[in-house]
Structure 1
Amino acid sequence: MPLNDERANSSSRSEDQSSDVESSLTSDQDCSRDSFNSDGSSKQSTPSSSPPKTLSLDEVMEAGRELFNLKLAHEIANFDFHLDLNRGPQNSLLNAVRDNVQKAYWDILETELNDDPPEYQHAIKLLEEIREILLSFLNPGANRMRTQIMEVLDMDLIRQQAENEAVDIQRLASYIITTMGKMCAPVRDGEIRKLQESTDNIVTLFKEIFRVLNLMRADHVSLTIQSLKPLLQRNGVQYERETFQGILDKTPTALDRTTAWIKSALEELLPATVPPAKSDPREGQQTLPGPNQILNTACLSLLTWDFSKTPVPETWVMDESRLEEIQRQLKLLETVNEVLLIVNSTIRGPIQGISSLSDCLKKMISVLLEGMHRPDFNLEKTLEGVSAQIGCELNKSLTVRGYPPLTPEMQTTLTGQICSISQKDNPIRTLVEDRVQQYFAALLSNPNTKNKLEQVPAGLAAIKPELILTGKSFIFLIENNRAVYGPFYLDIIKKLLFGSS
């Protein structure tokens, strides 16, 4: 990716500098990968922000709805989004409250139906809700089935029957199950058969009917999502950008963290002097970093972001969990690579070039270090166990090929060196982390990413396949993010460089 460094002539005014860089930014947008406005549109999108104001409750709620819509569109268009029916941890307070409320409802229903004479107040409400769910599954042209459902589940008629104790709840349940069987996806046929063959009492049967209806609703939503996906993929960039602009209009501080993030990258690139907008032109030429260089530096910082202490920039909230996962993968890969480097440099000749042993050690180390991102994970203690397992594997391999096993002194040395990588200033750890940063910096700064993906720095060969996959994931997030938020970034960079309003 070109860096597009801008040079300010000592005789030029600040306004001319701003104009030149803005022109350069616009010309950058003609490039496919370098373009921030990469949705294929030639239209320049200039974000706007509103002056600070006090938000009403309605405005806050509306902004929240827009944020939800933005996240939903982002997930559907760019990732394998699916409706998750998992209700979360079994012992959560929300689940406990929900379960208690539902149990109370079914208990009341059972009590009413067992009364003499039966009471149908809750049963009628239940049937009405089921009718609305069934109707929601119908396509606009399904008039015949709609009419039939309305006739069989005629609430006025059912209320009259209830007053005369003539409601046939079992017949209505049977009709509902038959209708569900006509509407459900093939994957739910087994559930429908269980309902048809059920010998449970009527309350338990309706519980199961509702459970299957919820599954059918999830299927229906998933089908709708899949039908929307091509449309969102074609128009997703523009939609996400316009939706975010709507949030920004209602919440003027919605780019504060993003501005601080970009400013930090700019300060890293510039000398620690006065702000560029206030620099004295008489001091001669001053090299200004280009927008891509600034953003590349900012994006690189996401790989080492402390998510527990610092909220991510607003423009990265949608992908925060993915950034965290990439960071976890990298930390695991780096540690695995560090251990393998130590093993190879300590044992040397007897294990050189034995790919099967290297692969075995890599898998074993990866399994033992799984979960190292957790706060309660004891890396040093775990590395002691890793060292012991490595010693066993090495001794087996050495013995099979006629070499003597590791001496106690060599095993002690190996263990000490492996455990030392738990220290942040360990030279091998520092070397590997620097090489990984170099790899991702090269991916960001090169327009031909596909070729760069294969060019793994020396010393990282052991984790090359995994590093390439992680690199692809990271670059995908970066390109998608810039396509949506590029105009906002350009506006922030221009203000930081030249103090423009």
Structure 2
Amino acid sequence: MPLNDERPASTSSGEDQGSDVESSSERCDSITSTSDLDCSRESFTSDCSSKHCTPSSSPPKTLTLDGVLESVRDLSDLSLAHEIIVNHNFHLEPNSLPQDSLWKVVRDNVHKAFWDILESELNDDPPEYGQAIRLLEEIREILLSFLNPGANRMRTQIMEVLDMDLIRQQADKDTVDIQGLSSYIITTMGKMCAPVRDEEIKKLRESSDNIVTLFREIFRVLDLMKADMANFAIDNLRPVLQRQSVEYERAKFQSILEKTPNALDHTTSWIKSVLEEVLSATTPTGQPQGKRQQAVPGPFQILNAAFLRILTWDYNKSPLPETWMTDETRLREIQWKLQQCQAVNEVLLIVYSTIGGPIQGLPSLSDRLKRVTSVLLDGMHSPDFKLKEALEGVSAQICCELNKSLTERNYPALTPALQATFAGQICSITQKDNPIRTLVEDRVQQYFTALICDPKPQARLEQVPAGLTSVKTELAFIGAKFITLVNYNKTVYGPFYADIIRKLMFSGSPPAAHPPQTTAQDSVTSN
């Protein structure tokens, strides 16, 4: 943590795809090469000299407790680094627990007991300083942890003023100047803290509370300073991680694979099920049974279909592939926003197909209807969200808006019978076979398929299929987020995907109906 004029200042933080190639094992080899984050097309087709380009081959190892613990540490490092890289707003908050949680109750009770003991000891006659000395020793270690390696003068001063041996001798003689020590601690904190904490330090200096309450506040501010220091380090680390992100994440994941035998099981199962689906779709049906030849899909075709499946992943049926685990929160948010966006579009399609001409060409009305629907469907992904009731509210509110607009322009208001029909059509989108819902979902799949397959997806973000123009802005926003995740994931994990696809396609037999229990080493090292 910088001192005085070296206080931390915020550091500013600063995606494509190719077509299928010929049916041979070389198509899988092309996936294994990668360059930097901004050249994901080249990462699938060019030569690679990186030492982490291809997953290393090594015999399977016996799983041990130490190996599991090391894998957990690697996974923690990988998740943290990935979050810092992809989330420019990522920062740490001071440790806080949910209100009324058991952990918070236990922590608060333990802290209260400590401060009660401290107060009781200091109020004794003569005072006891056992707890106070332990407190000062902990504060000294925290202050020392804030110092830069070259801050020798400040380090020496802290060690001299907070000399525990000397303070213990003073305690034996009842000559410890607790107020003086607390004043020095606050002054030192003021020299070390970030500017955002100046007001907190000022309050500490002006505090008239008793010594126990003052020390409680000192520890609260020290916790804030710890978070500031960690965030300052993150801001400085982010540019380095961004330059080395692909190499770092791939190396970390390779390390996990070497220690955990089944670390690619879900990824293998995901790609295998997609391959089976693609093979089934590309098998000709017009030839006699004995003469049918199965068209072999290319690796890009397989991966494109696999990435599209991630967009609609059913988290209740199976966990995400291991290669996507660091993005689960972002993928869930994308999926929730897309579901809401689709529902809004379905409602608006019903409105305009039912009412027709009298409400065409009125952008302000369209915006108002979209806004009302979006608000009432907000949070529809929640388990306790009652979609049918919400849609009933949507239909009622839309009927009010329509009647208001129609009467203002001398059109007759909607009849009760038409309003009832209208409400029934809107509520019917909860049924999976509803034609409007099916149409919208198919068009959305077309949109994201085009984005995933296009070498320059940014140019296609605004090119939505017919029937989705009402939510074009929202779709473009969701599409940009999703394609960024896809291209980065492809760049990092391309070598692992290549090995899995090579094994599944060229192992000498077609994929089975159910994926075998494939170990991580098999998935990574097979040719």
> TM bucket by the smaller chain?
over 0.9
Contact persistence 1:6–1:288 (CA under 8 A): no
Deviation at 1:358, TM superposition (A): 0.8
- Give the distance between the partners of 1:384 and 1:38, measured in 2 at CA: 52
Match of 1:366 in 2: 374
Match of 1:115 in 2: 124
Alignment-mate amino acid for residue 50 of structure 2: K
Structure 1 residues 50 and 255, CA gap change in structure 2 (3 angstroms): farther
Match of 1:21 in 2: 27
Contact persistence 1:32–1:38 (CA under 8 A): no
Contact persistence 1:37–1:484 (CA under 8 A): no
Structure 1 residues 154 and 3, CA gap change in structure 2 (3 angstroms): same
Match of 2:10 in 1: none
Q: Does 1:202 align with 2:211?
A: yes
Structure 2 counterparts to residues 7-156 of structure 1, below 5 A: 7=23, 17-18=24-25, 20-25=26-31, 32-36=39-43, 42-43=49-50, 45-48=53-56, 50-80=58-88, 81-85=90-94, 87-156=96-165
- Give the distance between the partners of 1:283 and 1:427, measured in 2 at CA: 37
Deviation at 1:252, TM superposition (A): 1.6
Q: Does 1:3 align with 2:12?
A: no
- Give the distance between the partners of 1:64 and 1:26, measured in 2 at CA: 26
3-state SS of paired residue (1:375): coil
- Give the distance between the partners of 2:381 and 2:29, measured in 1 at CA: 44
Deviation at 1:36, TM superposition (A): 4.0
Deviation at 1:462, TM superposition (A): 0.6
- Give the distance between the partners of 2:504 and 2:150, measured in 1 at CA: 57
Which residue, 344, 350, 367 being the options, matches 2:352? 344
Moved more, 149-158 or 55-64: 55-64
- Give the distance between the partners of 2:281 and 2:188, measured in 1 at CA: 72
Alignment-mate amino acid for residue 103 of structure 1: K
Structure 1 residues 225 and 445, CA gap change in structure 2 (3 angstroms): same
Which residue, 324, 328, 338 being the options, matches 2:336? 328
Which residue, 424, 431, 434 being the options, matches 2:442? 434
Alignment-mate amino acid for residue 384 of structure 1: E
- Give the distance between the partners of 2:31 and 2:47, measured in 1 at CA: 16
3-state SS of paired residue (2:295): strand
Q: CA offsets per residue over residues 248-302 of structure 1, 9 Å max, x none?
A: 000021001000011111111103899xxxxxxx968642211111111011111
3-state SS of paired residue (2:343): helix
Alignment-mate amino acid for residue 201 of structure 2: I
Deviation at 1:84, TM superposition (A): 2.5
Structure 1 residues 23 and 486, CA gap change in structure 2 (3 angstroms): closer
Deviation at 1:62, TM superposition (A): 1.0
- Give the distance between the partners of 1:5 and 1:447, measured in 2 at CA: 15
Contact persistence 1:109–1:123 (CA under 8 A): yes
- Give the distance between the partners of 1:440 and 1:138, measured in 2 at CA: 50
Contact persistence 1:6–1:287 (CA under 8 A): no
- Give the distance between the partners of 1:490 and 1:364, measured in 2 at CA: 46
Deviation at 1:139, TM superposition (A): 1.3
Match of 2:486 in 1: 478
Match of 1:277 in 2: none
Structure 2 counterparts to residues 47-446 of structure 1, below 5 A: 47-48=55-56, 50-80=58-88, 81-85=90-94, 87-271=96-280, 286-446=294-454
Match of 1:11 in 2: none
- Give the distance between the partners of 2:54 and 2:78, measured in 1 at CA: 19
Instruction: Give the CA RMSD over aligned residues.
Output: 2.2
3-state SS of paired residue (1:270): helix
Q: CA offsets per residue over residues 409-430 of structure 1, 9 Å max, x none?
A: 1111110100110111100001
- Give the distance between the partners of 1:163 and 1:38, measured in 2 at CA: 75
Question: Quick one: percent identity of the two aligned structures?
Answer: 65
Structure 1 residues 481 and 28, CA gap change in structure 2 (3 angstroms): closer
Alignment-mate amino acid for residue 220 of structure 2: R
Alignment-mate amino acid for residue 257 of structure 1: H
Q: CA offsets per residue over residues 170-218 of structure 1, 9 Å max, x none?
A: 1101110111111111111110111111111111110000000110111
Structure 1 residues 300 and 202, CA gap change in structure 2 (3 angstroms): same
Q: CA offsets per residue over residues 387-441 of structure 1, 9 Å max, x none?
A: 1011111111112222221111111111010011011110000100111011000
Deviation at 1:5, TM superposition (A): 4.4
* Matched length: 484
Deviation at 1:3, TM superposition (A): 3.1
- Give the distance between the partners of 2:493 and 2:31, measured in 1 at CA: 14
- Give the distance between the partners of 2:328 and 2:46, measured in 1 at CA: 22
User: What TM-score does the superposition give when structure 1 sets the normalisation length?
Assistant: 0.92
Alignment-mate amino acid for residue 154 of structure 1: D
- Give the distance between the partners of 1:245 and 1:39, measured in 2 at CA: 21
- Give the distance between the partners of 2:360 and 2:186, measured in 1 at CA: 67
Contact persistence 1:77–1:229 (CA under 8 A): yes
Structure 1 residues 29 and 162, CA gap change in structure 2 (3 angstroms): closer
Q: CA offsets per residue over residues 61-80 of structure 1, 9 Å max, x none?
A: 11101110111111112212
Q: Does 1:493 align with 2:509?
A: no
Q: CA offsets per residue over residues 353-402 of structure 1, 9 Å max, x none?
A: 11111111111111111111012211111111111011111111112222
Deviation at 1:142, TM superposition (A): 1.5
Deviation at 1:22, TM superposition (A): 4.3
- Give the distance between the partners of 1:305 and 1:208, measured in 2 at CA: 47
Deviation at 1:34, TM superposition (A): 2.3
Moved more, 310-319 or 85-94: 85-94
3-state SS of paired residue (2:378): coil
3-state SS of paired residue (1:428): helix
- Give the distance between the partners of 2:34 and 2:135, measured in 1 at CA: 60
User: What TM-score does the superposition give when structure 2 sets the normalisation length?
Assistant: 0.88
Alignment-mate amino acid for residue 452 of structure 1: R
Contact persistence 1:83–1:221 (CA under 8 A): yes
Structure 1 portions without partners, runs of 5+: 8-16, 275-281
Deviation at 1:23, TM superposition (A): 5.0
Structure 1 residues 290 and 47, CA gap change in structure 2 (3 angstroms): same
Alignment-mate amino acid for residue 211 of structure 1: R
- Give the distance between the partners of 1:136 and 1:369, measured in 2 at CA: 49
Q: CA offsets per residue over residues 451-494 of structure 1, 9 Å max, x none?
A: 21111000000100010010000011011111111110111110
3-state SS of paired residue (1:6): coil
